[in-house]
Homo-oligomer: A and B are copies of this chain.
Amino acid sequence: MKASIITIGDEILIGQIVDTNSAYIAKSLDKIGIATHEMVSISDEKDHILQTLYGLQNKVDVVIITGGLGPTKDDITKKTFCDYFDDVLVENDAVLVHVKDMIERIFNRPLTQLNKDQALVPSKCKVLFNAVGTAPGMLMEQDKTVFISLPGVPYEMKYLMENEVIPYLVNKFKRPFIVHQTIMTYGRGESLLAEQIESWETNLPTFIKLAYLPSPGRVRLRLTARGNDELKLKEAIQKEIEKLDDLIGDCIVGYDETESIEVVVGKKLKEFGQSIATAESCTGGKIAQQLTSVAGASAYFKGAIVAYETKMKEQLLQVNHKTITDFSVVSAEVASEMAVNCKELMQSDFAIATTGNAGPLQGDSKAKIGTVFIAIATPSKVFVEEFDFGQPREKVIDRAVSKALEMLYKEISKN
């Protein structure tokens, strides 16, 4: 079972927006045992779209196209999709009623002609009803390939994948099983890790594949097993993980592929009934934002104080003026006071504090650009680490956020 994903839109090819739809679609397909063979992004040009579709006919089982279904002139996917199947566009009553209802409710005005045109669909297609937007999804089968066209707006695409596309594919195809297991490690480089597990890697069964996914400060290992017996695949993977644990157990922090560090931290805090707050300077609220991106975060996240301006560290977080003048605003001492005072103010069990210079300018401290102090206050103590996260600004902020959450995770895990 193979799929291809096509994204249509000039905005992607000039780099104005990043395509996040393909990753979502690939992940959804992967879960039901359909492997994505290739992802392609092409322009809003009829010939380019047609040529890409011809190239995939009977080569893959499923083609999913996103984008180009809007009401404006530059959106040509629907017309081209229709041409490809030698079909004609007809008005779909159910879609028209829905579009009318949405436009009247949201914009409080009558339909324009362009709105009405959204109800046109190829006469032979199966309409995928888009309850959250005005552009319907469309599905056509031709020979051995199913072609599906979805709107490019991410939440509309997600709605249709979940409610229409996946149920349809599950019903239509007999699929193999794909089992993934990610092992999250941190604090050890990719090369060293690879050498430590080399003989284990060489002896993996042929139906299990290993991949390394390094990012600053951590490496995820991903095992993928393919076959027809799901239970057998899972058992085989479990066996390999046990062997791996003997080899590098000291740097493994978790196992769930879908779990980011903020989700893992949240689970641990929930499990122990503990809470967290943050006092942020150079990370500008990003640690709080990541913690609160998790549904249900209100069970353990108290709040954050982003004391960006130096003065605010004194006023909002009650850092001693003398500490700042003696040690500078980017120092272990300031980070430590920020964490302790934040924990106090928020009545939380843990607190994270960051102070540093993300660049590109020098700012209120003499600290080198890239220097960040991260402090963790726990129920019984506070500790600080100093880092040099280099440049540029974006990387300094991201590494500081990721490192802070890892330090917290390690600490909570000692419970």
Contacts and interface: CB of A to CB of B under 8 A. Distances in A.
Contacts of A304: 285, 304-306, 308
A15 B25 contact: yes
B72 A212 contact: yes
A336 to B, nearest CB: 19
Main secondary structure of the interface of A (DSSP, over half): mixed
A346 B307 CA distance: 9
Interface in A294-332: 295-298, 301-309, 312, 315-316
A361 B309 contact: no
Interface string A72-84: 1111000000000
A176 interface: no
Interface stretch (A86-94, A139-147, A387-395, A406-414): A387-395
A346 B15 contact: no
A254 to B, nearest CB: 15
Contacts of A212: 70, 72, 74-75
A35 interface: yes
B224 A395 contact: no
- Copies of this chain present in the complex amount to 2
A100 to B, nearest CB: 12
A151 to B, nearest CB: 10
Interface string A95-123: 00000000100110100111100000000
A74 to B, nearest CB: 5
Interface in A2-23: 10-20, 22-23
Interface residues of A, number: 108
Interface centre among A11, A213, A289, A360 (most CB of B within 10 A): A289
Interface string A177-206: 000101000000111101100000100000
21 contacts: A11-B213, A12-B26, A14-B36, A15-B26, A15-B29, A16-B27, A16-B213, A18-B20, A40-B41, A74-B212, A112-B192, A114-B191, A155-B395, A285-B289, A295-B393, A298-B364, A302-B308, A302-B312, A304-B304, A304-B306, A304-B308
Interface of A: 10-20, 22-30, 35-44, 48, 70-75, 103, 106-107, 109, 112-115, 132, 153, 155, 180, 182, 189-192, 194-195, 201, 209-215, 222, 224, 257, 278, 280, 283-289, 291-293, 295-298, 301-309, 312, 315-316, 345-346, 359-361, 363-364, 390, 392-395, 397
Given A17-B23, A289-B289, A303-B312, 20 more contacts: A11-B211, A15-B26, A15-B36, A18-B19, A39-B41, A70-B214, A72-B194, A74-B210, A112-B195, A114-B191, A132-B390, A283-B289, A284-B288, A284-B291, A285-B289, A295-B360, A295-B361, A301-B308, A302-B308, A305-B316
